[in-house]
């Protein structure tokens, strides 16, 4: 290459700066493309892109889901890069703006992330976008070089034909003039280079290790005031009066105003610290006449009282309560257990926060690690009194969520909107929750009480299983009720048991709703977070009563030819094998197994423990997962590792308790997260599969707790029916 | 109250309430947002910075106490130990949500600076004050070992 051509290319590059090819779907879900000088010039009312190709050849993948650590930025990028044969290092990511049509989650029909659906719903959509770009670029090169497209290939981000080679940016003008293929050919699994590849570098692993990754907590815009909210110490309390004499002495304190909902006071200041300091010294009086004023013991006892009655709903297909009861009463042996599982907080590392920034044209931008733009967007428009098109949402990395950032009421965004309005609507407002706000702020995994009766034949076979669950519905009373509650049953209260794979002759699962003023919410793995514990600990109790090995005992109820049972049996066998289930352990050591299907993914986990002076240590966890085709094996492993840690930590020692309505846990010392020294090695084994990919964010959680409890029960012999374990007779090293 | 702090090699003058913890000076006044707020009571480690090379929780650090100290945040990390740690973190895809990872890295660099070849036990002891709700612990442990190997080479 001569100096002249280099210079010419350079000039061409400069001249073309900002020009990019945009490929995406229009509102009808049909592929579309356009060229524009910059993203700002793009007519986003009719078109939003999924892929951008800049004139320098850089590919940008637009991520319609939010990244809370689950790896979606890496996953969705892999899908595009695979079909496009792009160079991994040369792909950037960008979070999509809020748009309920173009960027909807195809599993929900609205834009949002949850239920371990990101890869599953995007698998064809993002690959199709990538494949369309690939076909288009080849056609464009064919035109530019006057060579048949059959002789042109794309490899690792370069378009090639014989000696000719070009990066993607060099053909975008030609590409823009060509029609986009409507149904581009997708690769077959044997052609995959990136999908299934081990150790793909995460797209977010540079900016998250040098301090440059932007979370909403890091947003600072001009003329911004900071707000924290002093909330009623009891759920359902209303504000009577407050005084700010002390707060006025805090440097930086600006003002305090009652929230229109009467359940809190917005405290404004010129810095986060000033807002926190001022809030601490504001004295408020609350009316608790309609509040939740009970203590946890009373609430738990009341759950157990309801458990004694006949369930309000029967939720398992084919389950017959009376017949099951009858079968159990005539069984040779009977196992009975009552379980109580506590309220749990999500406690993501980044406390909840967001910024509302006003614009000179009257519109606003919400800066947020926004999990559910599809709900937040219209809600904000309504509260602030704007047209939907006047509201923009800029999505940032979220410092964890575990479900907390997605609420039907858009709770913290709504608080920010009220705080913004109350302050006059002209200044940007940053709402920050402290950790104390987070733990006392509700939206917990609900308490759940289960009663299980299992009948065993004289051969030690389960003849009937009667199950009753009492818990507060997450869905009832929210806008999701119409779509998600069927015949009065909130399936999330019973999922995992009502549809358990075990084939048991009589299996009835009853439900009775509990109600209270305590706001409850999906918590990583939702209903499975309690149902898997009860189901899998009960299986071990039954196996013990039957005198059978827990692995073999489970497999006995997964013998049919249906895919569900086969896949669950598959992960049980794989986990048992990799965990050396048959091999004896030293004295004072034990293993426990649990298996559970959730979010269409099958997971079995074996926890190996040791006991020294009665203190339990988790030495090793072996996990087998079948999530269909593994798109990013390393992300799958990371999600299993994280899910296991999340599940174990909660079951070991987490609970939210109330004393006369007030939350007793103030901060992490009272709600101790799992720590590095709590857990030994985790090994994850992925079942090879060509089935459609399913989610991995949640399914690692459910089996972890019961596998640990089963290991401890194997060692100590006493059933573990009340959680957390450390408050109920188990000491950890 | 006016205070001068030496952060990442530069003297910075700020005027804040005297009880303002170092964390909030770093984040709100100096816009160095890589250091995170997680609990405010020194129990999660997300706010870890180095004071004269040692990992310290900035949310419980009084600014008057560090006026004469060298303060380093994640943005100011340099040198071969830091590079080895950051490279190891990337190679092993340690991060998930990433919010605690600045603090994890500051603690890990602090550990390797005084103990270049830590055992699992020593890693656990040094890192147990840094909580990670995504539970990336096993990769953190592996990355510290990897960084130690890189430093040996």
**pLDDT band, residue A562 (cuts 50/70/90):** very high
Residues in B closer than 8 angstroms to A369, CB to CB, are none
Mean pLDDT of A283-302: 98
A426, A498: one domain: no
Asked if pLDDT for residue A407 goes beyond 80, the answer is yes
B100 → closest Cβ in A212, A251, A349: A349
In sequence order, the β-bridge partners of residue B67 are: none
**pLDDT band, residue A621 (cuts 50/70/90):** very high
Domain boundary among A191, A206, A237: A191
Residue in chain B lying closest to A644 (CA): B135
Residue in chain A lying closest to B22 (CA): A273
Instruction: Tell which of A211, A220, A350 to mutate to test the B interface (max B CBs under 10 Å).
Output: A211
Mean pLDDT of A292-313: 97
Cis peptide before A724 (omega within 30 of 0): yes
Mean pLDDT of A205-230: 98
Asked if pLDDT for residue A624 goes beyond 90, the answer is yes
In a domain, A662, yes or no: yes
| First-last CA distance in chain B | 48
Residues in A closer than 8 angstroms to B141, CB to CB, are 676
- Kindly report, residue by residue over A89-111, the tens digit of the pLDDT: 999 999 998 888 888 898 888 89
- Kindly report, residue by residue over A496-541, the tens digit of the pLDDT: 999 999 999 999 999 999 999 999 999 999 999 999 999 999 999 9
Across the interface, whether the CB atoms of A646 and B134 are under 8 A apart is answered yes
Asked if pLDDT for residue A14 goes beyond 50, the answer is no
B75 → closest Cβ in A211, A217, A274: A211
Per-residue pLDDT, A45: 57
Domain boundary among A370, A404, A432: A432
A119, A186: one domain: yes
A179, A274: one domain: no
Provide the domain limits for residue A583: 296-344+443-732
The domain spans of chain B are 2-76, 80-152
A530, A622: one domain: yes
Per-residue pLDDT, A60: 93
Across the interface, whether the CB atoms of B128 and A218 are under 8 A apart is answered no
Mean pLDDT of A443-462: 98
Quick check: A510 and A498 in contact, CB under 8 A? Answer: no
> Nearest-CA neighbor of A468 among A328, A320, A594, A313?
A313
Q: What is the CATH number of the domain that holds A283?
A: 3.30.365.10
A276, A383: one domain: yes
A674 → closest Cβ in B28, B94, B135: B135
A371, A418: one domain: yes
In a domain, A202, yes or no: no
**Complex ipTM, two decimals?**
0.98
Across the interface, whether the CB atoms of B137 and A674 are under 8 A apart is answered yes
- Kindly report, residue by residue over B104-153, the tens digit of the pLDDT: 999 999 999 999 999 999 999 999 999 999 999 999 999 999 999 999 98
In sequence order, the β-bridge partners of residue A392 are: A365
B134 → closest Cβ in A69, A272, A668: A69
Domain boundary among A432, A451, A474: A432
Mean pLDDT of A130-152: 95
- Kindly report, residue by residue over B72-107, the tens digit of the pLDDT: 999 999 999 999 999 999 999 999 999 999 999 999
Pick the CATH number of B80-152 from 3.30.450.20, 2.40.30.10, 3.40.50.10490, 1.10.150.120: 1.10.150.120
Asked if pLDDT for residue A6 goes beyond 60, the answer is no
**pLDDT band, residue A483 (cuts 50/70/90):** confident
Asked if pLDDT for residue A3 goes beyond 70, the answer is no
**pLDDT band, residue A44 (cuts 50/70/90):** low
- Kindly report, residue by residue over B24-35, the tens digit of the pLDDT: 999 999 999 999
A55, A32: one domain: yes
A28, A105: one domain: yes
- Kindly report, residue by residue over A266-279, the tens digit of the pLDDT: 999 999 999 999 99
Residue with tokens 């219209």: A378
A349 → closest Cβ in B34, B38, B123: B38
- Kindly report, residue by residue over A646-680, the tens digit of the pLDDT: 999 999 999 999 999 999 999 999 999 999 999 99
Q: In B32-71, which positions are buried (b, 16+ CB within 10 angstroms) versus exposed (e)?
A: bbbbbbbbbbbbbbbbbbbbeeebbbbbebebeebeebeb
A47, A121: one domain: yes
Per-residue pLDDT, B99: 98
Q: Where are the beta strands (DSSP E) in A112-188?
A: 153-155, 158-161, 164-167
| Structure-token pair, residue A133 | 């770009």
Instruction: Tell which of B95, B118, B125, B142 to mutate to test the A interface (max A CBs under 10 Å).
Output: B95
**pLDDT band, residue A42 (cuts 50/70/90):** low
Per-residue pLDDT, A38: 61
Instruction: Tell which of B14, B78, B98 to mutate to test the A interface (max A CBs under 10 Å).
Output: B98
DSSP state of A460: S
In a domain, A203, yes or no: no
Mean pLDDT of A596-619: 97
In a domain, A154, yes or no: yes
- Fold for domain B2-76? Ubiquitin-like (UB roll) (3.10.20)
| Structure-token pair, residue A346 | 């999500």
Quick check: A485 and A313 in contact, CB under 8 A? Answer: no
A372, A505: one domain: no
A273, A143: one domain: no
Residues in A closer than 8 angstroms to B59, CB to CB, are none
Å from B153 to nearest chain A CA?
Answer: 22
**pLDDT band, residue A16 (cuts 50/70/90):** very low
- The answer for residues whose C-beta is within 8 angstroms of residue A488's C-beta and 6 or more apart is A312, A313
In a domain, A204, yes or no: no
Residues in B closer than 8 angstroms to A251, CB to CB, are 16-17
> Percentage of chain A with pLDDT > 70?
96
- Kindly report, residue by residue over A361-392, the tens digit of the pLDDT: 999 999 999 999 999 999 999 999 999 999 99
Q: How many domains are there within chain A?
A: 3
- Separation in Å, CA A631 to CA A70, A689, B39: 13, 11, 35
Per-residue pLDDT, A39: 57
A205 → closest Cβ in B21, B93, B132: B93
Asked if pLDDT for residue B59 goes beyond 60, the answer is yes
Q: What is the DSSP string of A585-639?
A: --TTEEEEEEEEEETTEEEEEEEEEEEETTEEEEEEEEEEEE-SS-S-HHHHHHH
Asked if pLDDT for residue A5 goes beyond 50, the answer is no
Residues in A closer than 8 angstroms to B93, CB to CB, are 199, 201-202, 205, 634-635, 638
- Tell me how far apart the alpha carbons of residues A167 and A198 are, in angstroms, rounded to a whole number: 26
Asked if pLDDT for residue A4 goes beyond 60, the answer is no
* Average pLDDT for chain A: 94
In a domain, A209, yes or no: no
Quick check: A268 and A225 in contact, CB under 8 A? Answer: yes
Across the interface, whether the CB atoms of B130 and A212 are under 8 A apart is answered no
Q: How many CB atoms lie within 10 A of CB A585?
A: 15
A329, A360: one domain: no
> Percentage of chain B with pLDDT > 70?
100
Instruction: Tell which of A676, A678, A697, A705 to mutate to test the B interface (max B CBs under 10 Å).
Output: A676
């Amino acid at each position: 290459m001569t100096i002249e051509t280099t210079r010419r290319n350079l000039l061409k590059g400069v001249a073309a700066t900002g020009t990019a090819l945009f490929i995406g779907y229009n509102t009808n879900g049909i592929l579309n493309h356009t060229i524009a000088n910059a993203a700002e010039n793009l007519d986003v009312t009719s078109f939003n892109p999924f892929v951008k190709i800049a004139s320098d050849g850089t590919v940008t993948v637009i991520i319609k889901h939010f990244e809370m650590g689950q790896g979606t930025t890496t996953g969705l990028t892999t899908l595009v890069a695979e079909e496009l044969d792009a160079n991994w290092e040369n792909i950037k990511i960008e979070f999509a703006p809020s748009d309920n049509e173009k960027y909807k989650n195809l599993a929900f029909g609205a834009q949002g992330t949850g239920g371990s659906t990101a890869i599953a719903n995007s698998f064809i959509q993002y690959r199709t976008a990538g494949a369309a770009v690939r076909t288009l670029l080849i056609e464009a090169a064919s035109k530019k070089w006057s060579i048949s497209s059959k002789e042109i290939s794309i490899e690792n981000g370069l378009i090639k034909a014989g000696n000719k080679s070009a990066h993607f940016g060099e053909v975008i003008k030609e590409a823009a003039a060509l029609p986009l293929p409507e149904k581009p050919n997708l690769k077959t699994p044997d052609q995959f280079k990136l999908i299934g590849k081990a150790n793909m570098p995460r797209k977010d692993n540079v900016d998250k290790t040098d301090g440059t990754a932007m979370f909403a907590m890091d947003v600072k815009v001009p003329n911004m005031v900071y707000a924290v909210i002093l909330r009623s110490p009891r759920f359902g309390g209303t504000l009577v009066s407050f005084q700010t004499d002390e707060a006025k002495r805090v440097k930086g304190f600006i003002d305090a105003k009652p929230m229109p909902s009467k359940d809190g006071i917005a405290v404004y200041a010129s810095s986060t610290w000033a807002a926190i300091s001022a809030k601490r010294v504001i004295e408020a009086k609350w009316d608790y006449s309609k509040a939740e004023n009970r203590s946890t013991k009373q609430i738990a006892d009341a759950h157990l009282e309801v458990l004694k009655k006949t369930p309000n709903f029967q939720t398992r297909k084919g389950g017959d309560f009376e017949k099951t009861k009858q079968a159990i009463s005539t069984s040779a042996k009977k196992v009975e257990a009552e379980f109580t599982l506590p309220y749990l907080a999500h406690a993501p590392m980044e406390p909840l926060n967001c910024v509302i920034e006003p614009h000179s044209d009257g519109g606003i931008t919400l800066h947020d690690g926004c999990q559910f733009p599809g709900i937040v967007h219209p809600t904000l428009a309504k509260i602030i009194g704007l047209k939907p098109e006047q509201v923009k949402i800029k999505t940032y990395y979220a410092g964890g969520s575990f479900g907390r950032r997605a609420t039907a009421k858009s709770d913290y965004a709504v608080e920010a909107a009220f705080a913004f309005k109350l302050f006059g609507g002209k200044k940007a407002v940053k709402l920050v929750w402290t950790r104390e706000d987070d733990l006392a702020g509700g939206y917990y995994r609900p308490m759940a009480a289960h009663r299980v009766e299992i009948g065993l034949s004289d051969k030690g076979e389960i003849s009937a299983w009667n199950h009753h669950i009492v818990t507060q519905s997450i869905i009832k009373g929210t806008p999701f009720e119409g779509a998600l509650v069927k015949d009065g049953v909130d399936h999330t209260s019973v999922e995992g048991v009502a549809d358990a794979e075990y084939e048991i002759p009589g299996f009835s699962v009853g439900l009775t709703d509990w109600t209270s003023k305590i706001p409850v919410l999906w918590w990583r793995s939702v209903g499975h977070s309690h149902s898997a514990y009860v189901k899998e600990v009960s299986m071990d109790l039954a196996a013990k009563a039957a005198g059978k090995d827990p692995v073999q005992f489970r497999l006995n109820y997964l013998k049919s030819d249906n895919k569900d049972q086969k896949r669950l049996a598959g992960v049980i066998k794989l986990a048992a094998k990799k965990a050396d289930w048959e091999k004896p352990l030293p004295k004072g050591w034990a293993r426990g197994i649990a298996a559970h299907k959730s979010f269409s993914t099958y997971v079995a986990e074996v926890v190996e423990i040791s006991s020294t002076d009665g203190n339990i240590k988790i030495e090793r966890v072996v996990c087998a997962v079948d999530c269909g085709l593994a798109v990013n094996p390393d992300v799958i492993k990371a999600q299993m590792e994280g899910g296991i840690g999340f599940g174990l930590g909660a079951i070991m020692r987490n609970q939210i308790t109330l004393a006369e309505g007030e939350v007793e846990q103030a901060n992490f010392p009272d709600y101790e997260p799992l720590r590095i020294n709590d857990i030994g090695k985790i090994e994850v084994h992925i079942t090879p599969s060509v089935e459609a990919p399913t989610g991995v964010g949640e399914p690692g959680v459910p089996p972890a707790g019961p596998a640990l409890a089963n290991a401890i029960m194997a060692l100590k012999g006493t059933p573990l029916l009340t959680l957390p374990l450390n408050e109920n007779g188990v000491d950890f090293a | 109250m006016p205070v001068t702090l030496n952060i990442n090699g530069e003297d910075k003058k700020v005027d804040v309430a005297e009880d303002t913890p170092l964390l909030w000076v770093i984040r709100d006044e100096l816009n160095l947002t890589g250091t995170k707020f997680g609990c405010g009571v020194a129990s999660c480690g997300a706010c870890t910075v180095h004071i004269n090379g040692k990992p310290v929780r900035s949310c419980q650090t009084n600014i008057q106490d560090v006026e004469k100290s060298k303060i380093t945040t994640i943005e100011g990390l340099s040198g071969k130990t830091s590079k080895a740690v950051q490279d190891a973190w990337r190679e092993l895809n340690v991060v998930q949500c990433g919010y605690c990872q600045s603090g994890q890295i500051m603690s890990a660099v602090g550990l390797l600076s005084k103990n270049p070849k830590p055992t699992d036990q020593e890693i656990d002891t040094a890192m147990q004050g840094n909580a990670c709700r995504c539970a990336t612990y096993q990769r953190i442990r592996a990355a510290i070992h990897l960084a130690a190997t890189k430093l040996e080479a």
